[in-house]
Amino acid sequence: MKRMINLAPGKVWRVALAMLPFALILLVYMAASDARLAENPQDKLLPSFEQMGDAINRLAFEPSKRTGEYLFWQDTLSSLQRLGMGMAIAASLGMFLGLMTGALPMLNASFAPLLTVVSLIPPMAILPVLFIVFGLGEVSKVALIAIGTTPFIARDIQKRCLEIPREQLVKAQTLGANSFQIIVRVLVPQLLPRLLDAMRLSLGAAWLFLIAAEAIAATDGLGYRVFLVRRYLSMDVILPYVAWITVLAFVIDFALQKLSRVAFPWHEPKEGGA
């Protein structure tokens, strides 16, 4: 018998072992759900997969009686739009701030401490401010995501920028490069994959801000829906929505990772991210 630390599963076993916990969770859920429904068919707490399927079928493939919209897809679209805009703003702004404070010591001296302080402000605490300033429309939700994730991305990029070996910058200077050329040809290309990493890491927070903002003030969106149907204890809607949000988050994360691999083949992704 080998030592435990040297025992590694083969390819097939690795997949099987990965699937095992998921299967177990499903089995436990199904058993618990069946038991409760056998006791009381009206139970709403642990709906069967059939009930969840019905609920989603209703929301996704039948037009809403009130508005004529397909609510599930409308919610998904609205949420993804908010998330996408928020992340796009956060990524551009974070990249710009991180790059400038990382590359130029003068800007670092005056803005890096500010950035540190701003990043410590809990974004949820200023959500009321955003609602007051931007109203209850789309802007405040996008702003919350952007404000919540920009400082993290900016600080991460700044740190990565300072981690680029000084030797490279000196080398570029001995090749006659000016500051602008060094930023454009040495720093930015090396920071872009880092930006994708930082976006992947901040996606979790972005989802949190999105759902919180939607829960408080919205007329559609995934977060809005789950908080709306909570009033009716509609676990048959909430659980599939949560699963759907998880799937979306996973797909976005996976897409960013793939993009990083394809666009920056020289960049070895460090293990342990996300």
Give me the count of residues in the chain: 274
Compute the Cα dihedral for 121, 122, 128, 133 and give only its sign.
positive
Looking at 65-73, 74-82, 136-144, 163-171, which segment touches other proteins (CB under 8 A)? 163-171
| x-or-dash string of contact with other proteins, 187-206, rule CB under 8 A | --xx----------------
Looking at 64-72, 121-129, 145-153, 263-271, which segment touches other proteins (CB under 8 A)? 263-271
Q: Is residue 22 part of the contact set for other proteins (CB under 8 A)?
A: no
Q: Is residue 181 part of the contact set for other proteins (CB under 8 A)?
A: yes
Token pair recorded at residue 113? 């401490």
Helices (H), the chain: 11-39, 49-61, 71-103, 105-120, 127-134, 138-163, 166-174, 179-182, 188-216, 222-229, 235-263
Among 27, 109, 184, 247, interactor with other proteins by CB under 8 A: 184
CB 146, min distance to other proteins, A: 28
Among 185, 204, 233, 246, interactor with other proteins by CB under 8 A: 185
Q: Is residue 106 part of the contact set for other proteins (CB under 8 A)?
A: no
| x-or-dash string of contact with other proteins, 53-72, rule CB under 8 A | --------------------
Q: Is residue 172 part of the contact set for other proteins (CB under 8 A)?
A: yes
What's phi and psi for 18, nearest 5 deg?
Answer: -70, -35
> What 3-state class would DSSP assign to 234?
coil
Q: Is residue 264 part of the contact set for other proteins (CB under 8 A)?
A: yes
Report CA dihedral (264, 210, 58, 237) to the nearest 10 degrees.
Answer: 110
CB 177, min distance to other proteins, A: 4
User: Cα separation of 107 and 187, whole Å?
Assistant: 16
Q: Is residue 41 part of the contact set for other proteins (CB under 8 A)?
A: no
User: Cα separation of 207 and 204, whole Å?
Assistant: 5
Residue ranges in contact with other proteins by CB under 8 A? 165, 167-168, 170-178, 180-181, 184-186, 189-190, 264-268
